[in-house]
Amino acid sequence: MSKILFVLTGATHWTLADGTPHPTGFWAEEAVVPYRALKAAGHEVVVATPGGVVPAVDRASLAPEFNGGQEGADKTARALEEMTELREPVKLAEVDLDDFAAVFYPGGHGPMEDLAVDADSGRLLTATLDSGKPLAVVCHGPAALLAAVRADGSNAFAGYRVAAFTNDEERQGGLAERAKWLLQDRLTEAGVEVQVAEPWAPHLVVDRNLVTGQNPASSAPVAEELLKKLG
């Protein structure tokens, strides 16, 4: 079957407006749900991070309240243990897109810290978009789109419709007032059309080869759509 590239944040914190480092990483559900769906369909997964650092999970994403109770939290933790690819990531700068059938970016606040300004990630995203290969991004993962800048200074995703973590969700999550910037605002400024739906409800947007989801609950629909595109 196909080889799928998972690009994860290498950040362990998100720097807030006052300089406070807010502990974060990748959001467990957003990595686990697509991973399990792709592996069940027979695909191979390779993990890449900036510098090849082992990605950190946002500890909050393992809490019972974000997993439908303790049983769900235990299940998510076990699923992460099964993702052995997380322990040996490749360096993002050394990725060859030709080796992969599709690319996937999960979220968590980590991408707001590193992938939003990572030139290697930006080049990979632009190349994937231009190649026509399926590109799936969920929640705060679209922060990485901000680094996809073409030679003329324009954003490669300008004019594309996307779903991404919204201002309302950031406010309800309690970090909007402390953030340096908000994802929905910054994407809009870059010319990306953010399609906002109900907070926390699954919301999927498909525009050409780009598949995006608004929040953790959108991980499953994003994975389903990615599998469809892989045929």
pLDDT band at 146 (very low <50, low <70, confident <90, very high): very high
* Residue 81 phi, psi (nearest 5): -60, -35
What's 155's DSSP letter?
A: B
Position of tokens 């300004």? 117
pLDDT digits (tens, 9 = 90+) for 89-138: 999 999 999 999 999 999 999 999 999 999 999 999 999 999 999 999 99
**pLDDT(77) > 90:** yes
In whole angstroms, give the CA distance from residue 142 to residue 71.
Answer: 30
Residue 1 has pLDDT above 90, yes or no: no
Mean pLDDT of the 216-225 span = 98
Is the pLDDT confidence value at 231 over 90?
no
